[in-house]
C-alpha cells in the first residue's frame, strides 16, 4: 500500500435496524465494503452495537441487489421505467379516481423519502391511501398517545431508563430487539439497583434478566393494568393534584377498571397468574415513584392494542409519573425510522407534521404545499388496503421499502391479491423477495443503507443522519429522487424540485413550524434553516427543536400542557378483553415475533454468515406437554395450520412455555425456506381503534410431520433443488451457502451440487444400515462442498463445517467428520451463541464443564459476551442450566 495514501476516515452514520438508533462509524475499504464500529459520541449507544449492528459490514455485497430498473421482467432505462410508473397511476386516476391508487411505505425509509411520498399522494394525487408497515408496528401506540395526550407524543427520553428505580417491560423482548438499550438498562441496574419487571407470556431472554417475570396469559394486559389502577387508587397512591390540574376522565376510567378487575383474585384469574405474583408487582409499582413502563409489540400488536396502551398511560397519569426524570410510559419503536414516518404523516389517518384530517389542518397543509388536489379524508389502513386490492377497488399500488407479501397477516391471500393489480410498482434494494415475485411489474432499484443520505428519528425523538459512505451501485437511486421524478412526470415538477435530501428535509422542518405556535408537539423549526453544510454536519438532535429554543428540556407533560383542546390529558375507560369464539380443533394460540440475530424478512441480515449461525432454522416453540399431546417430538417437525394457511417448522420443546401458547419467529420467507412463511397463518383481526393487526394470537393446530432423513448441504458454488416434499431452510456460510433439510426422498450429490467437476475429489462414507451418507468434495485440496444425510439432525457437523468452506481439512478432521459425523474435540460444535467473537454453544459448554460458574468467567475463558453483550442472557441461561444439571443429576422431564 502506498504509504502516502491517507487513512480512510470513518463516516458517522446510524444503524438501519432497530429504533434504538445507534450511531455507527463506517470506514469504507475502497472495494465496496466497510469496517463497522459503534460511534462513541452518539448519545443512543455511546459506542456500543448489538450483534446485528456489528455485522453490518457483512451485508454490503451487491450480490442479489436490484441494480437496474425493470419493466415486466426486462431491463429498462430509468426514463422508460419512470414514464411507465407515472403513466399507470395517471391512467388509474383518470379511470377510477383517487380511491383506486395506493402507496404502501415503510419505517425503513428515510424521513426525506417518506415526506416526498406522502406529499405526492396526499397533496397532489388526492389520495390518502398511503399507509405503512408502521400500521403493523406502532399504530396502537400512536392511537393511544392521541387519545390520552391529544398528539402522538413520546413523553420521555432514554436517560429516564438510567435514572428510574423501576423499569416495567410489557410485551417487549428488548434483550433481543432493542439490545443496546437493554444493555443500558442492565448497566443502570448494576450501578444503582434498578428493579426490572417483565410482563410477557414467554420466558424470553429479557425475562431471564428480570427481577420479576409475570408470565401472564397472552392478551390479559388490560386486566392487569386495570387491576393496578384500582390498587393504586385504593392504596392512596394517586397524585390528586396532578389529576385535578392536568387531566380529565379519571373517575370514569377507575370505575371501568373496577368492573374489569375488582380485586386481586379477578386479576389473577384473567392473567393466569398467582395472586402473590401480581401483588408483588403492584407493590413494586406503588413503591417506586421513578418508574418507566416500556412497551412494544406484545402491547401494540393486539386486538386491544390501543386499550393496552391507554391502560398503561392511565396508571402513569394517575400517579403523575410522566415527563419527569426517570418516569413515564415509553413506547419502544421498532424500525429505525418508525418515529420519522409518524412525523411526516406516513399513516393513512395522518396528514403531515403530526396534523390530522380536520378542515383547518387540510387547509394549512394545502397552502403550505400549494397543493392542487388535497386528500380530504382518511385513507385505507394496511389490512383494509390489501383487502380493497383483492376486491378490485384499489388497482394501482406502489410498495416502497417493505415486504407485505411476507409480513402482512393472511400473507397468502395478500400475495393472491397483489397479482390482481393493473399497476404494481415496487421500489426495492433486492432483486427478489416475496413481494417482487407476487407480480411486481415495475421494479425500481433504490439506494440502500451505506448509499442513502438523509435522516431517521429514534424512539426518544432523536433525529440522526444516515450518511452515505459507498457510491450508488449500478443505476440505484434514492427513494426521494425516484418519487420526485415520478411527480415530475405527473406534472408536479416544481413542487418536487429538490436537488438534495437536505432540501426536502428543510421543507419538512418548515412545515412542522408552519402556523404551529405551540399547538402541535412536533416542531423542528430550528432545523428549517440549516444550509447544506449544516445539514451534512447535523449532530443527533432531539425534538422539539423550535426556532427560538435554547435546547434543554425535551420531555413532555411534567406540568401538563397536553395537546387536547383544553390542554388536559384524557384517562381512557378501556374495554375488557373480548373473548373470541373458540376455533374448533385449533386450540393453540400462535404468538409470533423476533429472534436475536435476524431482521424481519432477512433481506439484509440473511446475508451475514455470522448472524446465520445463532438460530438457523424456522421453529415452533411449544411446551413439552402440548407437544406430546399433539404427537410431536422435540427436534422433529410440525405442520402448523390456521384457518388461513400453514407452515412446517422444526419443533423445540420449551419447558418454560405456557401450555396452550406456541411461538414462531417471523423471519423466514419463500426465499429462505420451503414453507415457513409464518405470516400466512396469522389472522387479520385488527384493533378497532388503530387498525393494527393482532399478530400474537392466532388459533392454530399442530401435527407431526415425519421425515426419514435430515441433513445439510454446504457449498461454495451453486445449490440445486431437493425433491418436492422436502423441508429446507437456507443459511449463508462464511464462503458459501447452505441448506438445512429434511426429506423422505432421495438426495444425491449431483442434484444438490450441480456444478461439481469431474476433477473434484470426493471423500464419502455410507452406512446403509443407519441410513447415513456423508460426503466432502475437495477442489485443489480445499473443501468445495459437503453433504451430510442421516436419520437425525446433523447440526453439530454443520456448525463446524460451515466455517471450513474453502479451507484445507486435516486428515483427522476428515476422518472424524465423515466416519463419526462430528468434529474431534467437539469444542467447535453447536450453534454460535456469541456472534461477535464467534463462540459456539459447544465452546461455552466446555467452559462450564471446566468450572466456569458465571457469565463473567465464561467471558474471560472464551471471550463470549464480552463485546456487544446481546448473548449474555443466553450465556446466563446456560450457566443456570449447568447448575441445575450438576445439582440434580437425575432431573429429566419424562424419564
Ligand atoms: N433482532 C431483531 N430486533 C428487532 C427487529 C427484528 O426483526 N429483529 N425488529 C424491530 C421491530 S420493527 C420491532 S416492531 C421491534 C419489536 O420488538 P418486540 O416487541 O420486543 O418483539 P416481538 O418479538 O415482536 O414481541 C415482543 C414480545 O411480546 C410478547 N407478547 C405476545 N403477546 C403478548 C401479550 O398479550 N402481552 C404481553 N405483555 N406480551 C406479549 C411476545 O411473547 C414477545 O416476547 O423489534 C425491533 N428490533
Ligand atoms: N406475524 C407477524 N407479522 C408481522 C410482525 C410480527 O411480529 N408478527 N411484525 C410486524 C412489524 S412490527 C413490522 S415492522 C413488519 C416488518 O415487515 P417488512 O417491512 O415487510 O419487512 P422487511 O424485511 O424489513 O422489509 C423491508 C423491505 O424493504 C427493502 N428495503 C430496505 N431498505 C430500503 C430502502 O431504503 N428503500 C427501499 N425502496 N427498500 C428498502 C428490503 O430489502 C426489504 O425487502 O412486519 C410486521 N409483520
Ligand atoms: S441496538 Fe443493534 S439493531 Fe438496534 S440500532 Fe443499535 S446496533 Fe442497530
Ligand atoms: Mo416493527
Question: What is the average per-residue pLDDT within 270-289?
Answer: 98
**What pLDDT band is residue 893 in, cutting at 50, 70 and 90?**
very low
Of residues 833, 828, 840, the one with CA closest to residue 874: 833
Q: How far apart are CA 765 and CA 818, in angstroms?
A: 6
pLDDT exceeds 70 at position 145: yes
Of residues 290, 313, 294, 311, the one with CA closest to residue 151: 313
The larger pLDDT score, comparing residue 415 to residue 890, is at 415
832-834 and 839-840 strand pairing:
antiparallel
The larger pLDDT score, comparing residue 722 to residue 831, is at 722
pLDDT exceeds 60 at position 887: no
**What pLDDT band is residue 885 in, cutting at 50, 70 and 90?**
low
Calculate what percentage of the chain has a pLDDT beyond 90. Answer: 85
C-alpha cell at 412: 397468502
pLDDT at 818: 79
Q: Whose grid coordinates read 424500525?
A: 335
Nearest ligand by distance to the CA of 331 = 1
Q: Please, are residues 839 and 832 in contact by the beta-carbon 8 Å criterion?
A: yes
* Candidate from 13, 17, 598 with most ligand 3 atoms within 8 A of CB, to mutate: 17
Which residue's C-alpha comes closest to atom 37 of ligand 2? 401
Mean pLDDT of the chain: 94
Ligand 1 environment, Cβ below 6 A: 18, 52, 137, 170-174, 176-177, 199-202, 204, 218-219, 221, 296-298, 302, 334-335, 591, 593-594, 596, 598-600, 696
The atom of ligand 1 lying closest to the CA of 300 is: 19
* Candidate from 15, 103, 666, 670 with most ligand 2 atoms within 8 A of CB, to mutate: 666
Nearest ligand by distance to the CA of 433 = 2
- Secondary structure in 3-state letters for 221-236: HHHHHHHHHHHHHHCC
Name which of 53-67, 376-390, 699-713, 824-838 the model is least confident about.
Answer: 824-838
pLDDT at 888: 38
The atom of ligand 3 lying closest to the CA of 54 is: 7
pLDDT at 1: 43
Ligand 2 environment, Cβ below 6 A: 106, 108-109, 133, 136-137, 297, 301, 334-335, 400-404, 406-407, 427-430, 433, 446, 448, 452, 479, 592-593, 600-601, 603, 666, 678-679, 682, 695
C-alpha cell at 431: 432483486
Cis peptide bond N-terminal to 544, omega within 30 = yes
pLDDT exceeds 50 at position 892: no
Domain ranges for the chain, please list them. 70-136+365-499, 139-331, 588-705, 709-820, 832-884
Q: Under CATH, what is the fold of the domain 588-705?
A: Barwin-like endoglucanases (2.40.40)
pLDDT at 400: 98
C-alpha cell at 623: 411446551
pLDDT exceeds 80 at position 161: yes
Question: What is the average per-residue pLDDT within 480-501?
Answer: 98
**What pLDDT band is residue 785 in, cutting at 50, 70 and 90?**
very high
Name which of 226-230, 525-529, 544-548 the model is least confident about.
Answer: 544-548
Rounded CA Rg of the chain: 27
Q: In what order do the strands lie in the sheet with 727-733?
A: 727-733, 736-743, 709-715, 782-790, 772-779, 761-767
Name which of 203-207, 648-652, 789-793, 884-888 the model is least confident about.
Answer: 884-888
Beta strands in 698-850 (DSSP E): 698-705, 709-715, 727-733, 736-743, 761-767, 772-779, 782-790, 832-834, 839-840
444 Cβ contact list (under 8 Å, min separation 6)? 66, 69, 81, 85, 425, 426, 427, 428, 477, 482
- C-alpha 436 – ligand 2 centre gap (Å): 13
- C-alpha 329 – ligand 3 centre gap (Å): 21
644 Cβ contact list (under 8 Å, min separation 6)? 409, 410, 412, 413, 680, 681, 682, 683, 684, 698
pLDDT at 4: 53
Half-sphere exposure of 582 (CA within 13 A, CB side): 7
In tens, the pLDDT along 670-712 reads: 999 999 999 999 999 999 999 999 999 999 999 999 999 999 9
Question: What is the average per-residue pLDDT within 395-419?
Answer: 98
Name which of 298-307, 520-529, 799-808, 865-874 the model is least confident about.
Answer: 865-874
pLDDT at 774: 93
Question: What is the average per-residue pLDDT within 425-451?
Answer: 98
Question: What is the average per-residue pLDDT within 493-502?
Answer: 98
Q: Of 1.10.10.1100, 1.10.10.10, 3.40.50.1470, 1.50.10.10, which CATH number belongs to 832-884? A: 1.10.10.1100
- C-alpha 450 – ligand 4 centre gap (Å): 21
Q: How far apart are the first and last CA of the chain?
A: 64
Q: Is the CB of 53 under 6 A from ligand 3?
A: yes
Question: What is the average per-residue pLDDT within 125-133?
Answer: 98
454-457 and 462-466 strand pairing:
antiparallel
* Candidate from 81, 106, 668 with most ligand 2 atoms within 8 A of CB, to mutate: 106
pLDDT at 552: 66
Calculate what percentage of the chain has a pLDDT beyond 70. Answer: 96
pLDDT at 553: 67
Exposure string of 753-768, with b = 16+ CB inside 10 Å and e = fewer, is beebeeebeeeebeee
**Torsional class of 197: left (φ above 0), alpha (ψ -120 to 50), beta (otherwise):** beta
Domain 139-331 has CATH 3.40.605.10: no
Q: Is the CB of 49 under 6 A from ligand 3?
A: yes
Which residue's C-alpha comes closest to atom 47 of ligand 1? 177
pLDDT at 848: 87
Question: What is the average per-residue pLDDT within 354-362?
Answer: 97
Question: What is the average per-residue pLDDT within 743-757?
Answer: 93
pLDDT exceeds 50 at position 822: yes
pLDDT exceeds 70 at position 289: yes
Question: What is the average per-residue pLDDT within 532-544?
Answer: 96
312 backbone dihedrals φ, ψ, rounded to 5°:
-70, -45
Of residues 352, 624, 614, 281, the one with CA closest to residue 509: 352
pTM tops 0.85: yes
pLDDT at 5: 59
* Candidate from 180, 338, 449, 605 with most ligand 3 atoms within 8 A of CB, to mutate: 180
pLDDT at 580: 76
In tens, the pLDDT along 24-56 reads: 999 999 999 999 999 999 999 999 999 999 999
CATH of the domain spanning 70-136+365-499: 3.40.50.740
Amino acid at each position: 500500500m502506498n504509504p502516502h495514501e491517507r487513512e480512510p476516515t470513518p463516516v458517522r452514520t446510524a444503524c438501519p435496524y432497530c429504533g434504538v438508533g445507534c450511531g455507527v462509524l463506517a470506514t469504507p475499504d475502497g472495494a465496496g465494503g466497510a469496517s463497522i464500529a459503534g460511534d462513541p459520541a452518539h448519545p443512543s449507544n455511546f459506542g456500543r452495537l448489538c450483534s446485528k449492528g456489528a455485522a453490518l459490514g457483512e451485508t454490503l455485497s451487491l450480490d442479489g441487489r436490484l441494480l437496474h430498473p425493470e419493466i415486466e421482467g426486462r431491463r429498462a432505462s430509468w426514463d422508460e421505467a419512470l414514464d411507465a410508473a407515472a403513466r399507470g397511476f395517471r391512467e388509474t386516476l383518470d379511470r377510477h379516481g383517487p380511491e383506486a391508487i395506493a402507496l404502501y411505505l415503510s419505517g425503513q425509509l428515510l424521513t426525506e423519502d417518506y415526506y416526498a411520498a406522502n406529499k405526492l399522494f396526499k397533496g397532489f394525487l388526492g389520495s390518502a391511501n398511503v399507509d405503512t408497515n408502521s400500521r403493523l408496528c406502532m399504530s396502537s401506540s400512536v392511537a393511544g398517545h392521541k387519545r390520552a395526550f391529544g398528539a402522538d407524543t413520546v413523553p420521555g427520553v432514554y436517560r429516564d431508563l438510567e435514572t428510574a428505580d423501576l423499569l416495567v417491560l410489557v410485551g417487549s423482548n428488548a434483550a433481543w430487539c432493542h439490545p443496546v438499550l437493554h444493555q443500558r438498562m442492565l448497566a443502570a441496574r448494576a450501578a444503582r439497583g434498578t428493579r426490572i419487571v417483565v410482563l410477557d407470556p414467554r420466558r424470553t431472554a429479557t425475562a431471564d434478566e428480570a427481577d420479576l417475570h409475570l408470565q401472564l396469559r397472552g392478551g390479559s394486559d388490560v386486566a392487569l393494568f386495570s387491576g393496578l389502577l384500582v390498587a393504586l387508587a385504593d392504596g392512596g397512591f394517586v397524585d390528586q393534584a396532578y389529576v385535578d390540574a392536568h387531566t380529565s376522565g379519571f373517575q370514569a376510567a377507575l370505575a371501568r377498571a373496577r368492573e374489569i378487575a375488582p380485586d386481586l383474585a379477578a386479576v389473577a384469574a384473567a392473567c393466569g397468574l398467582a395472586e402473590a405474583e401480581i401483588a408483588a408487582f403492584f407493590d413494586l409499582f406503588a413503591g417506586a415513584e421513578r418508574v418507566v413502563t416500556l412497551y412494544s409489540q406484545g402491547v401494540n400488536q393486539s386486538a386491544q392494542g390501543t386499550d393496552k396502551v391507554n391502560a398503561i398511560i392511565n396508571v402513569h397519569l394517575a400517579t403523575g409519573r410522566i415527563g419527569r426524570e426517570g418516569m413515564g410510559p415509553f413506547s419502544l419503536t421498532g424500525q429505525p425510522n418508525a418515529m420519522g414516518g409518524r412525523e411526516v404523516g406516513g399513516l393513512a389517518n395522518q396528514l403531515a407534521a403530526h396534523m390530522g384530517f380536520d378542515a383547518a389542518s387540510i387547509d394549512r397543509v394545502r397552502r403550505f404545499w400549494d397543493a392542487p388536489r388535497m386528500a380530504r379524508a382518511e385513507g385505507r389502513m394496511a389490512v383494509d388496503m390489501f383487502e380493497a386490492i383483492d376486491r378490485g377497488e384499489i388497482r394501482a399500488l406502489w410498495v416502497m421499502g417493505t415486504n407485505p407479501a411476507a409480513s402482512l397477516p393472511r400473507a397468502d391471500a395478500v400475495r393472491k391479491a397483489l397479482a390482481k393489480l393493473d399497476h404494481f410498482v415496487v421500489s426495492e434494494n433486492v432483486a427478489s423477495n416475496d413481494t417482487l415475485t407476487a407480480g411486481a411489474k415495475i421494479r425500481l432499484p433504490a439506494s440502500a443503507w451505506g448509499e442513502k443520505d438523509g435522516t431517521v428519528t429514534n424512539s426518544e425523538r432523536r433525529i440522526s443522519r444516515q450518511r452515505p459512505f459507498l457510491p450508488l451501485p449500478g443505476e440505484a437511486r434514492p427513494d426521494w429522487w425516484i418519487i420526485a421524478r415520478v411527480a415530475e412526470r405527473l406534472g408536479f415538477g416544481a413542487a418536487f424540485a429538490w436537488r438534495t435530501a437536505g432540501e426536502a428535509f428543510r421543507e419538512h422542518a418548515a412545515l412542522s413550524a408552519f402556523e404551529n405556535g405551540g399547538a402541535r408537539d412536533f416542531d423542528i423549526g430550528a432545523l428549517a434553516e440549516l444550509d447544506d453544510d449544516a445539514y451534512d454536519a447535523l449532530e443527533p438532535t432531539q425534538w422539539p427543536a423550535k426556532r427560538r429554543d435554547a435546547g434543554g428540556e425535551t420531555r413532555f407533560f411534567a406540568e401538563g400542557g397536553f395537546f387536547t383542546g383544553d390542554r388536559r390529558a384524557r384517562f381512557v375507560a378501556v374495554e375488557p378483553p373480548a373473548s373470541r369464539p373458540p376455533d374448533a380443533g385449533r386450540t393453540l394460540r400462535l404468538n409470533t415475533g423476533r429472534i436475536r440475530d435476524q431482521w424481519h424478512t432477512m433481506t439484509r441480515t440473511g446475508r451475514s454468515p455470522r448472524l446465520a449461525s445463532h438460530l438457523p432454522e424456522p421453529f415452533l416453540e411449544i411446551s413439552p406437554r402440548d407437544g406430546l399431546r399433539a404427537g410431536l417430538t422435540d427436534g422433529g417437525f410440525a405442520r402448523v395450520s390456521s384457518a388461513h394457511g400453514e407452515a412446517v417448522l422444526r419443533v423445540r420443546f420449551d419447558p418454560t412455555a405456557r401450555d396452550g401458547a406456541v411461538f414462531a419467529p417471523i423471519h423466514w420467507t419463500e426465499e429462505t425456506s420451503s414453507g415457513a412463511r409464518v405470516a400466512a397463518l396469522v389472522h387479520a383481526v385488527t384493533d378497532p381503534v388503530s387498525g393494527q393487526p393482532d399478530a400474537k394470537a392466532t388459533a392454530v393446530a399442530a401435527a407431526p410431520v415425519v421425515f426419514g432423513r435430515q441433513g445439510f448441504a454446504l457449498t461454495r458454488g451453486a445449490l440445486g433443488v431437493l425433491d418436492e416434499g422436502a423441508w429446507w431452510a437456507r443459511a449463508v456460510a462464511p464462503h458459501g451457502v447452505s441448506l438445512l433439510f429434511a426429506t423422505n426422498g432421495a438426495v444425491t450429490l449431483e442434484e444438490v451440487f450441480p456444478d461439481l467437476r469431474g476433477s473434484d475429489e470426493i471423500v464419502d462414507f455410507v452406512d446403509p444400515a443407519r441410513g447415513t451418507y456423508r460426503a466432502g468434495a475437495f477442489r485443489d485440496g480445499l473443501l468445495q462442498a459437503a453433504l451430510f444425510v442421516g436419520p437425525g439432525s446433523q447440526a453439530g457437523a454443520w456448525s463446524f463445517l460451515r466455517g471450513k468452506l474453502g479451507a484445507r481439512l486435516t486428515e483427522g478432521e476428515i476422518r472424524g467428520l465423515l466416519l463419526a459425523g462430528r468434529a474431534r474435540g467437539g469444542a467447535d460444535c453447536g450453534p454460535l451463541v456469541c456472534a461477535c467473537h464467534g463462540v459456539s454453544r459447544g465452546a461455552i459448554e466446555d467452559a462450564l464443564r471446566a468450572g466456569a460458574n458465571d457469565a463473567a468467567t465464561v467471558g474471560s475463558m472464551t471471550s463470549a459476551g464480552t463485546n456487544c453483550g446481546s448473548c449474555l442472557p443466553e450465556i446466563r441461561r446456560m450457566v443456570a442450566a449447568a447448575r441445575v444439571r450438576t445439582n440434580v443429576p437425575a432431573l429429566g422431564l419424562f424419564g
